[in-house]
Amino acid sequence: MIKIEKSDRLNSLPPYLFKEIDRQKEEVKKQGVDIIDLGVGDPDMPTPQHIIDALKQAASDPANHRYPSYSGMEDFNGAVARWYKRRFNVDLDPLNEVVTLIGSKEGIAHIPLAFINPGDMALVSSPGYPVYDIGVKFAGGETYFMNLFKENNFLPDLGAIPDEIAGKAKMMFINYPNNPTSAVATEGFFQEVVSFAKSHNIIICHDAAYTEMAFDGYSPISFLETKDAKTVGIEFHSLSKTYNMTGWRIGFAVGRAEVIQALGQVKSNIDSGAFQAIQIAGITALEGDQTCVKAMNREYAERLDILAKGLSGLGLSFEKPKATFYVWIETPAGYTSSEFATHLLTKAGIVVTPGNGFGAAGEGYVRMALTVGKERLKEVIERIRSTGF
C-alpha cells in the first residue's frame, strides 16, 4: 500500500455544506418515510420526444462515432447563433464567438484555467452556484464574494466592491435569472456591469441557464443584449433546464471571441468535445418546435401558484419568482437555514436546500425546487401545516 495524499487543491476546498442534509435524508429514508424531495434543481419531466428521436437516429450513424470537433460541430454552433438571433436579437459569429460545452458546468469550471494565475482575484456572487468559486480555486485564484441581499433585489452592489479588489479582479461571475434566489436582472444592472468591467478590465461571465424558464409573460433578458456586453465578456447557456436534458451534458458559451477561444484552448487540452449525436439532438432542440418549452413553463407556473399560495398561507416570506424553478424562502424566526431544513426533513419528510450551502450570504433562507407534481406540492403544504414550525 502506498500512502495516498490528496492535493492542497482538494484539501482546501470549502466544506460541502449539503453533506449533513444528505446524511439526514438517507437516515429518514431508511425509516421508510415517504420523502418529498424539493432539494435538487433537476427537472422531473422527460426530454421531449422529438429530441430523443433525433438522438436515436444520429446515434446509429457511424459518422458520429468518431472524435467530434473540439469547438463544436459547425452545425450546432450555427444553430446556437441562429437561436441567439431569434431569441435575443444578438448577432454571433458561429466560428469565433460560440463554443460547445459538455454541459455549461464544464465550461464554468474550466474557464478560470484560461485567465486566472495563482493569486489572481475573481468576483463571485454569494449565495451562488458553487462551481464559480470552486473553478477559481482550482485555478489557484482567490474569490471575493459579492453578497446578494433582498434589499437590493438580490443584485450585487458593484459600488460596494473596494477599489483595490476591483483593481485586482480579472473575472466576474454573475447569474440571472438566479439560482438560488430566483431574482432577475434589469437592463440597467447589466449596463452597470458593462461599465464596471470596462473601468476595471474585468472579464464578465454571465450564467444564463434559466433564461427560458419564466412565467406570467415575463421574458428574461440576455447579458449580451446590453450595449458593448460582447466586448467585455461571455454568456454560458445550457440545454439542461430548458429541454429537461440535464443527463445529456450539452451546453455552450457565446460572446467575446478571445475569451471563447481561450476557453476552447483549455478544453482542447482536456476533453474531446461533446458526442456528435447529442449535438445533433441539440440542434433539433434549438431549431425545432418550442411548444414543449411553453408547456413545461405552464406546468411550472401552476406548480408555483400552488406552492406560493400555500407558503403564504403558512406565513412564510418569499418573493414570488418570475423565472427559474426555485422559491427562495426566508427561514422563520428561531431557525437557522440548516435548522429549518432539518426540521422540515425530520418532522415532515420534506427535503429543501439550506441557503448557507450556496455561500455565507445564503444564511437565513432555504430553497425549494418545483420538481414534483401539483398533488405532491399540495401535500408539502399540508405536511408543513400539520407539523408547524
Ligand X SMILES: *Cc1c(COP(=O)(O)O)cnc(C)c1O
| Residues within the interface to ligand X (CB under 6 A) | 41, 103-105, 129, 175, 179, 207, 209, 238, 240-241, 246, 251
Q: How far is the CB of 134 from ligand X (least distance, A)?
A: 13
CA distance 199 to 165: 13
Strand partners, 240: none
Strands 353-354 and 365-369: antiparallel
DSSP string, 249-313: --EEEEE-HHHHHHHHHHHHTT-----HHHHHHHHHHHHS-THHHHHHHHHHHHHHHHHHHHHHH
Q: Minimal distance in Å, beta carbon 180 to ligand X?
A: 8
Question: What is the nearest approach in angstroms of ligand X to the Cβ of residue 127?
Answer: 11
CA distance linking residue 92 with residue 255, whole number of Å: 7
- Are 182 and 155 in contact by the 8 Å Cβ rule? The answer is no
The residue (of 244 and 356) whose beta carbon lies closer to ligand X is 244
Q: Copy the grid coordinates of residue 199.
A: 473601468
Tell me how far apart the terminal alpha carbons of the chain are, to the nearest angstrom: 51
User: Would you say 270 and 106 are in contact if contact means Cβ atoms under 8 Å apart?
Assistant: no
β-strand 251-255 against 233-238: which pairing, if any? antiparallel
Give the H/E segment covering residue 54: helix 49-59
Instruction: Name the residue nearer to ligand X (CB basis): 178 or 348.
Output: 178
Q: How far is the CB of 107 from ligand X (least distance, A)?
A: 8
Question: Degrees (nearest 5) of the Cα angle 251, 252, 253?
Answer: 145
Residue closer to ligand X by CB (options 319, 379) is: 319
Nearest distance in Å: CB 192, ligand X: 21
Q: Least Å distance between CB 64 and ligand X?
A: 21
Specify the residue, 132 or 389, whose C-beta has the smaller distance to ligand X. 132
Q: Measured from the CB atom, is 166 or 372 closer to ligand X?
A: 372
CA-CA distances (angstroms) from residue 159 to 71, 132, 142, 193, 226? Answer: 37, 21, 20, 11, 19
Q: Which is nearer to ligand X, 365 or 389 (CB)?
A: 365
Tell me whether residue 179 or residue 211 sits nearer to ligand X (CB atom): 179
> What does DSSP assign to residue 322?
S
Is-cis flag, bond preceding 46, omega within 30?
no
Cβ atoms within 10 Å, residue 149: 12
Can you tell me which residue has the cell 422529438?
Answer: 50
Which residue's CB is nearer to ligand X, number 175 or number 284?
Answer: 175
Give the residue with the Cβ less far from ligand X, 251 or 357. Answer: 251
**Is residue 39 a contact partner of residue 369, using CB atoms and an 8 Å limit?**
yes
CB of 170 to ligand X, least distance (A): 20
Min dist CB 291 to ligand X, Å, is 22
Q: How far is the CB of 274 from ligand X (least distance, A)?
A: 11
